[in-house]
Structure 1
Amino acid sequence: MTAYLLEYSRVSTSKQIDKMGLKGQRLTEDERDFLCNEYDLTPYHETFSDLAVSAFKINASERPSFSRIIELLDSGEVSSDSVLVLSNLDRLSREDINTAINTLTGIIDKCRIYITQERRIFDKHDSNLMPNLMMALICLSRANDESQAKSERVTKANLIRIQNHHDGVKGVNGLPLAIPSGRYPSYIDTNTETGEISLNPYKSEVMKTVITMLLSGLSVRGVQDWLVVHHPDLDWGEMMLRRIHTRKALHGEFNIMVRGKKHTLVNHVPPLIDEVTFYQLVQLRTENFKARTRTEGLISVFTGFKKSYCRSCGSPMVTTVSNGKEILKCRGSSDRKNPCKNVVCLLSVYLLNAVKSVNLNFTNLVPDYDDSKLIELQDKLAEAQKQKAMFEERLLTNFTNAMANLYDAKCVEVTELETAIEDEKLNNAPVTGLFSVMPTDPEQLRNHLSQLTTSLKFYRIKRGHTITSMYFKNGFVLNLYLMKGKLLKVGLLTGSNHDDKLLEDDDNFKRFVAGGHLQAWLDDEPIKQPPTLATLEQLLLTA
């Protein structure tokens, strides 16, 4: 098993990306050569970076790139003698000290860690591990203290600026003062010297033109095409244009959450249009969507429930209608700036017929319902509500800033737990209304797929050839190989449900393809007829 040199970097804000944030964390060629020679390593074929991701607010396991490192270490593909390189320990975590230390020791248990700024190695077999962990404790504690202090400063600054707005306080030039954590539209500029916000002359005029086009009835695609031709420097994607009518900042209203409370600031952002025009835009965009749905008159069986994705570019699959035919395409096919290089394009009816021919028994695909997490969350909520009531009572009898902070924090915790409970109920609600045979109604079939699957993954092999992989919540996997509408093959790509489930990760699937394993599966003799229901049930029982 190969011992790799794994390089990880992270920056907390988008502003750091273009500065020295990332560049300063990367190894030089000399440093890379030294580490490879010193610890007998092979550089891994890619480096890992999390951009604009906070280590104070987001756990390492939830960061996109770092979670891939964890999966790689857990996969058994790399040796535990591999070395993960960080410029500083705070790249790993800025969370509370218990969480940070658990994260650090969890990684040390999987591989070695090298800190370039300190030239320190963390190795579970090293006699110096304990002294190194004591130093790490100090560094991680200091990092958390810094982030806590910064977070409190920003929160207070937000509240001061919000109060400034309500009191009518303006900047030196008579313009509104920016909320530090406010996410302003792309046509708003923030003056870093005065702290004021103002319209960007160029972008605001383009946005006004865009709004006029939409009000005149031009489609989002038509507006996007116009932008690409006349304003290629503006990175305003299709989704931003489709959601433009949801931004009340267009008529001057600005909303921000601070300590779990929503603050609405009227006439804070320089308006582009008045409120009446804004709601005309909302009505028009809403009606256009309804009209498009009525005109098409088709049920998108395989899209629209946030589970269908293109393997190649990672973008969602969408349903379009051309000449009365429903077509499955990846959204990357319409991305003008970063188009998908392997666009999936498949007639929906082809896939629908293939799924129907397999004739799945959906009642056998229902996952076992586990309410343990829901009960745990409900217990935590009950305790948090009890503490919140206690803090509120003390606050009313003896107000202190410390007690106010505790009460605010508990309010946030209660809201987060209530949201988590709703999500858990939604994601793990008992499945109902299923058929033991394949439903003929498209809406019923769509309902079955949305309830029972974790994802649908689409991959284009070549023109007219696609593989659709269906991953079910109970662990069952079904792969359908279609050639120009004809179902050529059904089965497991690896031969086992467990291994096929690992291919739900697109990176694992791409490695599977690069290794020639997919081609080997395709080269086998195609089936002469779809498998029977009994065959699929046997696959499920042996998974």
Structure 2
Amino acid sequence: MKLLVTYIRWSTKEQDSGDSLRRQTNLIDAFYAKHKDDYYLLPAHRYVDKGKSGFHQQHKAQGSDFRRMFENVMSGAIPEGSLIVVENFDRFSRADIDTAIDDVRQILRKGVSILTLGDGELYDKSALTDPVKLIKHIIIAERAHQESLVKQKRIAQVWNHKTQLARELKKPMGKQAPGWLELSEDGSHYIVDEDKASLVNIIYDKRLSGMSMFAICKWLNEQGYPTINQRKVRISKTKKPDGNWSALSVKHILTSRSVLGYLPAKISTEDRKTVLREEIEGFYPQIVTDSKFYAVQQLLEETGKGKTSSGDHWLYVNILKGLIRCKCGLVMTPTGIRKPVYQGTYRCNGNKESRCSYGTVSRKLLDTQLCSRLFSKLSQLHDEATDTAKLDELQRRLNTVDSELEKLTETLIQLPNITQIQEALRVKQEEKDELIVQLSREKARVKSVSSLDLSGLDMESVEGRTEAQIIIKRLVKEIVVSGNEKLVDIYLHNGNMIRGFPLDGKDDHTLTLEEATDEMQSLDDMLIFGEPVTRIYPAGDMEEVDA
């Protein structure tokens, strides 16, 4: 008996539940039923490529079943005399003629035959010298390739036209839309479902109040809210679902820029990187304010998956999270917290191992002094033009890197074997990826709050402390503490720093404001702090000043 090898492929994921798999499977099963005395099947040699394009050669990529089958033929794991059955040759490839024929020839040379069930033709070693069979195969391969070319061209034309209308006229591209929107009867615009839009805003408000994604999910299920898109969770045989909301569905809503009105960018399904269409601003009606959306992004960046670290009491909301460091350079974290009111201390992570001698500092003292005496006044110094300039600079750098990448790519096409160019291209791509991350973070920081005022916040509530955390991160980049001296250095996002801020409130300390530029700060800015600022230094001038 000979080994029977089966290969099935279809191009799009939409065909998963359609006729393609069923049709190809039925053909193979019918053949095996008639010839099971001559052939045997092994599970290891049933090859299936789901949603793999033969035209784009996805089915031959690393990890695909076609590649695994082909390598097994070449290595002898599929022995000489075996038979590969396939619906038609276009299951193997819709590439150009040379590529398609080369695959078949290599298989036949190994003594493995191919049977196309669609027309009942058998191809074995003799086909290599049979011009009639080869010509027939060439015609079949060419026809399949040309059909794919025409199909791709038509799809591209339709897609480009729809994209142009969407970008210029904001015309809907189809019925598909976020769950809080409905397409109008004439298909000309989207209509907001106010109840669902309200629920989306409730979810954002819950996250800003300090609730984790998991807590929000639990609350939504307990309240019996239907999901935005009406989807239902899969029912497990061993566990009954608690509701249709999941933490993943909550995360999707909290991170979707569609709530701001953006049509998401379309990314290639082949490499998951290539942008086929940039996102389109103003395509959908906006249902969440910019400040609310970006405030949530700030929280998600800090907390990762959206879990709260220690509990839902206000004591566990660290308003300086991710900002505070000891003078020795290590991170400081709150310790010794005790309900209902004891806030504990900020302790250096090196303190336990006796690697730090700068001491601890009262958490209540540091939070209160910074918020009441410094941060409330820093907002008066905040200049939105500085934030805008920083965003513009990052965007300029990103545009420059894009231009350099384009030139390197053109050079690589002409000189594909130059390893130095390939390495330069890799490094430049990494630089671009990093700039994209930086730009995204800066946009989130700048747009995260509409007000920089801390005075009206309840610092003994989860909501108040969470909002304070967002506001502080808008202004402050890093806080360096000397616990023994009770002195703090504050580094701002605009490049300036405040050195020697005293936590004891005494006036016998020197407070200096070091600028990011060589221009001198005005006297009015010094007086805002209410401290004896004796002198202001340009950045880089770090000489000590006597009080």
- Return the TM-score normalized by structure 2: 0.45
Mark the structure with the bigger radius of gyration.
Answer: 2
- Return the TM-score normalized by structure 1: 0.45
